[in-house]
Amino acid sequence: MSTPVIGVLALQGDVREHLIALAAADAVARPVRRPEELAEVDALVIPGGESTTMSKLATLFGVAEPLRARIRSGMPVYGTCAGLIMLADKILDPRSGQETFGGIDMIVRRNAFGRQNESFEAAVEVAGVAGGPVEGVFIRAPWVESVGAQAEVLAEYDGHIVAVRQGNVLATSFHPELTGDHRLHALFAEMVRAAG
């Protein structure tokens, strides 16, 4: 698979920035809102946004169950910020009715780095990404409290886990798509090619 087709879950959040970053990583990128669109992609990015809203909209649009099934069957998925929360098997402090898609054996804490006005940028060394640290944009970002034996920690910031991979599933607490640095999207595109 030389040019993977990678969807971006387009229910809510920073979809456009991921579409641009994926195109820069030599993937065909397209928005995904419905089950039939999900069926047409090789992989999926779950963007940042508001995880509770995303959970409810995914159920409303009928995409939640098909997405869980595709993740279980090995489809590569990359989640940023709220996307990381959606890929966790467990949320420490879920909102009422909030569900995840699962995929990584980890426990996450929502808004762990603070409120909107406490957002910040930081250089983050990410295992498997060559060329020095990645500039991470942390906006009401979660962090990972703990991971299971199958999950690999790729990065920590300020003593907290902020990037994790388990098999074909990748997740970061921060937003690399907002910086113009497309190395994490390139890493994900390589994961998709390898899985193909």
Q: Is the dihedral of CA 57, 58, 62, 63 positive or negative?
A: positive
Alpha helices (H) along 25-122: 35-38, 51-60, 64-72, 82-87
Residue carrying structure tokens 């910031």: 157
Q: Is 99 within 8 Å of 159 (Cβ atoms)?
A: no
∠ at Cα 50 (177, 33), nearest 5°?
75
Q: Is 55 within 8 Å of 67 (Cβ atoms)?
A: no
The span from the CA of 107 to the CA of 37, in Å, is 29
Q: Is 144 within 8 Å of 179 (Cβ atoms)?
A: no
Q: Which residues are catalytic?
A: 81, 175, 177
Query: DSSP letter at 118?
Result: G
